[in-house]
Amino acid sequence: MEFPYAEIHAFPDGQAPHTGNPAGVVMLHRDLPDADLLGVAQSNNLSETAYLKAMGEKDQWALRWFTPGLEVELCGHATLASAAWLFETGRVIGPEARFHTLSGLLKVTALEAGRYQMDFPQIGFEPGQGDAAVIAAMGETAPEAVYEIERVHGNRYQMLVYADEAVVVGLNPDIKALAATRTNVIATAPGRVSDFVSRFFGPASGVDEDPVTGSAHCTLAPYWFDRLGKTALKARQVGPRPGALDVRAGAAGRVLLVGSAKRYLDGVIRI
């Protein structure tokens, strides 16, 4: 069996090459067992592989996401990659692609100059207690604040807020020790050229560090909206493979993520 395949680099850092978050996108013409979906994701060895299957209605697709370790319930960059590929290959007839997912209906609208706007659910957070094992795994600098995040993929998520961008840039966590806590971490701080910066470490979901994490911004955006008193912000993820996006307040309980995506390769998956 052969399936169309593309690798898309979502949320690149402007026009800089080899930035943003790579995602695999597979168009299914028939259902496959979950073991095959996971196997392809493991073979791709990207943080996410997205699987699309056309539905009966115009511009609507079923969408699932797999890391090399498991299926996840929400993924921003692989949704952006899927939408960009569909628009660029002429598979979207109208201005909006609609995806039916484990997180409900997600809408992606084409904007100007190759940019796209994604309508995503906010992911809630509340003040939490610092976990000594998590903080130790993250390094010597203690965060200013710790927040517990609503569970996204069945794992524990915490957001650690640091005083300065340089601290987030310099983080070099002990991934093995962090994995032992079964906790994924969003690290964030005020930005120098952007409103805020972040990094995402997800060993509990099979991804040591995700380059530019759309779903993390479903928590980051409302936190920084409240802290900065704004409803539109510029964000950068500042790890070894950086990237950028805009975040905007959406309807109640929603957040809008805006970014671009670069088509890196096209091919065929054979199973």
**DSSP assigned state of 83:** H
Q: Is 184 helix (H, G, I), strand (E, B) or coil?
A: strand
How many CB atoms are closer than 10 A to CB 159? 24
Q: Is 269 helix (H, G, I), strand (E, B) or coil?
A: strand
Q: Which of 2, 7, 48, 209 is catalytic?
A: 48
Q: Phi first, then psi: what are they for 6, rounded to 5°?
A: -145, 150
Cα dist from 208 to 105, 161, 179, 184, 185, whole Å: 28, 19, 9, 9, 10
Give the 3-state DSSP-derived string for 103-159, with helices as H, strands as E and coil as C: CEEEEEEECCCCEEEEEEECCCEEECCCCHHHHHHHCCCCCCEEEEECCCCCCEEEE
102: tokens are 């484990």
Q: Is 126 a catalytic residue?
A: no
50 close to 78: Cβ distance less than 8 angstroms: yes
Active-site residue set: 48
